[in-house]
Structure 1
Amino acid sequence: MDVVFMGTPEFSVPTLEGLIAQEGINVLGVVTQPDRRRGRGQQLKPSPVKAKAQAAGLEIMQPKDVNSADSVDKLRSLAPQAMVVVAYGQILSKELLELPPLGCINVHASLLPKYRGPAPLHRVIINSEKQTGVTTIYMDQGLDTGDIILQEEIEIAAEDTVGVVHDRLAKLGAEVLLETLELVARDEAESEPQDDRKATYAQKITKEECLIDWTAEAQQIKDLIRGLNPWPGAYTYHQGQRLKVWESKIYDSKTKPSVVPGTVVNIEVEAGFVVQSGEGQLLITKVQPENKQSMSANDYLRGYDLQTGSILATDRKSSGEQNVDN
């Protein structure tokens, strides 16, 4: 089968690798987003998919608008039988969707119709879900609304971060996509419409959401922290400086606050520090001070003035100290 692959981030790479390695699949070309400036030096860097495609010697397209006449003409000249789309980053026009005779097939990182949209990986963890998975669909003009071909489910463990789930689903997505293409090639791919009544939307993560609200329950805060690890990171403020929180554990799930939520109520030697939430307490075990590398909470305690009574705040001005009765 002759295919064109469309994808951009690291999540897309295992599927591209699978297509390249699969006997009977001929990757005619790769479409990915234009190079972006990244990092502190803001150097122009290729997407992970472009880097993989270059290493494999594949033809690469990086249109600013994939639906432009030039882009459509180029893709038509390649004459793909199918187009595979995995986290590409642009919406395809009706003209492109109808171009390949076997259709445009998308790998989406959720159990559709739940978590349509750009941030399903983060949202399932932030929302304390116990299961997620991947879905292959025939793309239509809606946002992740096409008919479902295959789905595969996985369990989310209590300590799984979005990084862990990302890697598992990226690998699983590649496997399910190859199985999907085999069915399509044999004309055995049965599909069914999504039930729109069960649909939910996974909106993009905003910077405001990453700020920890210590009045929330301990479990909610823990799920936010792991749902933003390793990107973009949940954060709070200590003594006017931003402090990212990378790892935490439930220390107590029921304790009602007798102090301001966000107050450090205990120091656990060789473990970290305990923070009061709106209900329950969290043991913070890994953090990252502003403009510094990540470190254990224990190392942070050695180098920064954080002690029982310190208050972690929602802005730079509100952190301070409070008396805590141990």
Structure 2
Amino acid sequence: RGAGPIQWSVINGEAVTGVTTMYMDVGMDTGDMILKAETPIGEEETAGELFDRLCLIGADCLADTLALLKAGEAPRTPQDEAQATYAPMLTRELARLDFARLARELHNLVRGTSPWPTAHTAFRGKLLKVHRARVAEGFSGEPGVILDGKRLIVGCGEGALELLEVQQEGAKRMSAADFMNGKRVSAGEKFDN
């Protein structure tokens, strides 16, 4: 329930999400359910990509719901309030990367805030948006420190995160390799807090 259920399912590392048609009720998304459809969330899938898939699933679910309503056969399944969760509105502050957190959490944050508000940090005093990242297996180091001279791998509170696509303020979106080459980034440099 709430403003950002797709984004929060990715940010929270959920494996499955879906769509539900429901009857209107006085509360926010509290009405009896008519139909629901589930789908797995890909390990690298962004909220934007998931949104596009859910639109298609939702269209099919809506068509089936309308047919059931027209026939007078639409079920009413009460929601289990104990299972309900709230997905608050996303903010730019929420999307700030804190490298003291777990690498897996940051990976999910990058995915869940794509395309908006976009995960970000700062490097050499400028805003750096992070569009794609992945957990860097086998790496660990001081949070916020670049651990590799060829790949943009950053130490986290646990593990490390490899930044794959970035965009520094005033520049275009690019691969991390192009960013490192263009800015002459080297291992041991640290992201700003």
Fold conserved (TM > 0.5)? Answer: yes
**One-letter amino acid matched to 2:100:** T
Instruction: Specify the alignment match of 1:310 in structure 2.
Output: 189
Instruction: Specify the alignment match of 1:201 in structure 2.
Output: 86
Is the counterpart of residue 285 in structure 1 residue 156 in structure 2? Answer: no
CA–CA distance in structure 1, aligned partners of residues 77 and 138 of structure 2: 42
CA–CA distance in structure 1, aligned partners of residues 41 and 137 of structure 2: 22
Q: Please, what is the CA RMSD of the aligned residues?
A: 1.2
Instruction: Specify the alignment match of 2:145 in structure 1.
Output: 263
SS of equivalent to 1:229: coil
**One-letter amino acid matched to 1:233:** T
Which 4+ stretches in 1 moved above 4 angstroms?
A: none
**Does the 8 Å contact 2:36/2:61 carry over to 1?**
yes
- The 5-angstrom pairing of residues 139-154 of structure 1 reads 139-154=24-39
> What residue ranges of structure 1 are gaps of 5+ in the alignment?
1-115, 315-326
**One-letter amino acid matched to 1:199:** A
- The 5-angstrom pairing of residues 1-326 of structure 1 reads 116-252=1-137, 255=140, 257=141, 259=142, 261-268=143-150, 272-314=151-193
Distance verdict in 2 for CA 1:179–1:267, change over 3 Å: same
Q: Following TM superposition, by how much is the alpha carbon of 1:253 offset from its aligned partner in structure 2, in angstroms?
A: 6.1
CA–CA distance in structure 1, aligned partners of residues 95 and 109 of structure 2: 8
**Does the 8 Å contact 1:252/1:281 carry over to 2?**
yes
Q: Which has the higher contact order (CA 8 A, sep 6+)?
A: 2
CA–CA distance in structure 2, aligned partners of residues 166 and 129 of structure 1: 15
Distance verdict in 2 for CA 1:194–1:232, change over 3 Å: same
Alignment coverage as a number of residue pairs: 193
**One-letter amino acid matched to 1:282:** L
**Does the 8 Å contact 1:236/1:313 carry over to 2?**
yes
Q: Following TM superposition, by how much is the alpha carbon of 1:254 offset from its aligned partner in structure 2, in angstroms?
A: 7.1
**One-letter amino acid matched to 1:211:** R
